[in-house]
């Protein structure tokens, strides 16, 4: 409830005012909070990196956030087309970018090109900037304002802020999401009770387009009125209990849920009120420092494959990835990135022994590469995962993993996957010092559901009521997360067990 109040009151700020791609040079632009990778123009890359810093500053002002930024940067990857994204990731045609937060990594990807559908009923239109704003908004909210938001609000808020424009002297907020308007005007709408339901999971292309469009419109409608903001706050506080959506909506908004559809249509066409677009003076701030580094030629083939491996590859795409890596490796037989990516892929989905052997050789040549040590540790974790019992052999493998994770930590103490899997490798029950490692991993990556779930499980086992209360809070957030279905199911079961034990 506190997080809802902080967020929604802060929002009143605006109311009061084929195979691997052909070789091309890749660069990385680094700012205080971001690492942006692209094989496009360096000038465009610099501008985008600076704009991402502007967007982070806007979100902080928009939500009233005063917390310091995390110690590690957020990774963004720009590729030439959505087809490159879909080669290793299951994306529907209407999605040209995505954000993933897993126990092994967090990143956002976007196609650089503008995309537009030719079917008005499935219309979408987006730019790489809007996609990255949308995805970073998810990351921002999950990190700083964790709450069991319904999916429509999570996506609608991200869509709403994705259209922010930074002009030389002003910031424009509340602009139209062009493609979403097209889907609303020409496509069929989802029923309001389906849109607002915690179980909303659109499957078809048209339903997905309708869901995002209606979520954007509903968020715009809610955020354009102080009175509606208060009602939304009340509605979201009830959502966390997972009571009847229709009853909760009627209680909060004093109207049946069916009337909401008519209200939104009138809001869209301007019958009831004009959709509000706000202009605010752009705050003056020092020039944003950007360091641009040219990456080795092998990045044209291996950079995005390596980044995707850090997030995990779903089974239908693994054979394609392994084949692409084998094919590209021929061009770079002695390159460090190429060799490391090949080894990592084989540790995860191919010949683990061969992958480990390659990494061991790389470790001698590149003793300061924290990722090599982390991947070696993971090779032993995965070996241990195939052992049915906590026998001596499994403990031996976990001990080897801990050694590599300790080396990786010394090189990069803010790499949350290293901390998390170190904790996973220690004998249980863990010591207080070892439990603190998991707590730091969650502090660095609160957006990762599995890490939060494990922390909640650990806290629930403690005897003091304060930690059990904190565990229930985390489980409630996870239980209502429609993006991670398995974690949500596990969290609901664990939460029910805790409540029944009271």
Q: What is the mean pLDDT of each run of 10 residues along the chain (502 residues)?
A: 44 44 81 95 92 95 92 92 90 80 94 52 54 89 85 91 92 85 89 79 75 94 92 83 75 92 92 83 88 97 97 96 97 96 98 98 97 98 68 88 97 97 92 96 94 96 91 87 82 89 76
Q: Same domain, yes or no, for 225 and 330?
A: no
**Single residue among 259, 281, 303 that ends a domain in this structure:** 281
Q: Same domain, yes or no, for 324 and 223?
A: no
Q: Residue 281, Cβ neighbours under 10 Å: how many?
A: 9
| E strands, 170-214, in order | 170-173
Q: Same domain, yes or no, for 341 and 415?
A: yes
Q: Is residue 484 part of a domain?
A: yes
Q: Same domain, yes or no, for 118 and 40?
A: yes
Q: Same domain, yes or no, for 257 and 136?
A: yes
| E strands, 18-113, in order | 27-30, 34-38, 74-79, 97-102, 105-111
Q: Is residue 443 part of a domain?
A: yes
Backbone angles phi, psi at 115, to 5 degrees: -130, 140
- pLDDT score for 111: 86
Q: Is residue 3 part of a domain?
A: no
**Single residue among 281, 307, 332 that ends a domain in this structure:** 281
Q: Is residue 292 part of a domain?
A: no
Q: Same domain, yes or no, for 331 and 266?
A: no
Q: The pTM is what?
A: 0.85
- pLDDT score for 205: 77
In whole angstroms, what separates CA 389 from the centre of its chain? 34
Q: Is residue 308 part of a domain?
A: no
Q: Which structural domain range is residue 57 located in? A: 26-281
**Single residue among 221, 256, 281 that ends a domain in this structure:** 281
Q: Is residue 400 part of a domain?
A: yes
Q: Same domain, yes or no, for 34 and 84?
A: yes
- pLDDT score for 425: 94
Q: Find the CATH number of the domain harbouring 387.
A: 1.25.40.10
Q: Same domain, yes or no, for 383 and 259?
A: no
Domain count within the chain: 2
Q: Same domain, yes or no, for 239 and 325?
A: no
SS3 string, 97-166, reads: EEEEEECCEEEEEEECCCEECCCHHHCCEECHHHHHHHHHHHHHHHHHCCCCCCHHHHHHHHHHHHCCEE
Q: Find the CATH number of the domain harbouring 79.
A: 1.10.390
Query: Which structure tokens are listed for 299?
Result: 């990045």
Q: Is residue 222 part of a domain?
A: yes
Question: 54 with 287: CB under 8 angstroms?
Answer: no
- pLDDT score for 172: 92
- pLDDT score for 201: 59
- pLDDT score for 273: 80
Instruction: Report angle CA 185, 191, 195 to the nearest 5 degrees.
Output: 95
- pLDDT score for 391: 78
321/323 Cα distance (integer angstroms): 5
Q: Same domain, yes or no, for 266 and 380?
A: no
Q: Give kind and range of the element (H or E) at residue 294.
A: strand 291-294
Q: Same domain, yes or no, for 357 and 251?
A: no
DSSP H helical segments within 350-448, as ranges? 352-365, 370-385, 392-411, 416-425, 432-444
Q: Is residue 261 part of a domain?
A: yes
Q: Same domain, yes or no, for 350 and 465?
A: yes
- pLDDT score for 200: 52
């Amino acid at each position: 409830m506190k997080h809802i109040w902080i967020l929604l009151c802060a929002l009143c700020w605006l109311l009061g005012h084929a195979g691997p791609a052909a070789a091309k040079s890749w660069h990385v632009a680094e700012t205080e909070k971001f690492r942006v990778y692209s094989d496009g123009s360096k000038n465009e890359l610099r501008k985008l990196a600076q704009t991402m810093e502007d967007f982070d500053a806007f979100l902080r002002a928009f939500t009233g956030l005063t917390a310091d930024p995390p110690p590690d940067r957020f990774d963004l990857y720009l590729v030439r087309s959505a087809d490159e994204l879909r080669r290793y990731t299951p994306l529907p045609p209407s999605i040209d970018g995505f954000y993933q937060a897993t126990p092994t990594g967090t990143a956002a990807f976007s196609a650089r090109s503008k995309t537009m559908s030719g079917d008005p009923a499935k219309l979408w239109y987006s730019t790489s900037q809007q996609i990255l704003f949308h995805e970073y908004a998810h990351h921002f909210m999950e990190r700083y304002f964790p709450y069991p938001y319904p999916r429509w609000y999570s996506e609608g808020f991200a869509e709403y802020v994705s259209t922010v424009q930074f002009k030389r002297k002003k910031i424009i907020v509340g602009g139209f999401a062009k493609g979403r308007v097209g889907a609303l005007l020409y496509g069929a709408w989802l029923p309001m009770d389906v849109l607002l339901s915690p179980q909303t999971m659109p499957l078809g292309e048209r339903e997905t387009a309708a869901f995002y469009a209606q979520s954007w419109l509903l968020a715009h409608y809610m955020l354009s009125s102080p009175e509606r903001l208060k009602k939304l706050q009340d509605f979201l506080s009830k959502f966390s209990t997972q009571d009847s959506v229709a009853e909760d909506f009627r209680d909060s908004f004093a109207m049946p849920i069916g009337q909401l559809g008519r209200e939104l249509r009138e809001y869209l066409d301007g019958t009831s009120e004009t959709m509000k677009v706000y202009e605010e003076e752009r705050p003056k701030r020092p020039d944003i420092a950007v360091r641009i580094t040219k990456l080795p030629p092998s990045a044209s083939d291996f950079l995005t494959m390596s980044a995707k491996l850090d997030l995990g590859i779903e089974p239908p795409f693994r054979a394609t990835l392994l084949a692409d890596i084998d094919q590209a490796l021929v061009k770079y037989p002695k390159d460090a990135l190429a060799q490391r990516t090949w080894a990592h892929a084989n540790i995860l989905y191919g010949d683990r022994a061969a992958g480990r052997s390659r990494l061991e050789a790389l470790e001698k040549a590149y003793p300061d590469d924290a990722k090599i040590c982390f991947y070696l540790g993971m090779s032993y974790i995965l070996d241990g995962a195939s052992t049915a019992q906590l026998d001596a052999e499994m403990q031996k493998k976990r001990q080897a993993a801990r050694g590599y994770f300790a080396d990786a930590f010394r090189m990069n103490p803010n790499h949350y996957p290293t901390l998390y899997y170190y904790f996973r490798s220690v004998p249980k029950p863990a010591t207080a010092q070892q439990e603190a490692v998991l707590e730091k991993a969650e502090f660095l990556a609160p957006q990762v559901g599995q890490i939060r779930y494990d922390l909640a499980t650990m806290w629930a086992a403690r005897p003091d009521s304060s930690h059990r209360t904190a565990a229930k809070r985390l489980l409630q957030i996870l239980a209502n997360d429609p993006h991670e279905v398995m974690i949500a199911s596990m969290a609901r079961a664990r939460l029910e067990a805790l409540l029944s034990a009271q």
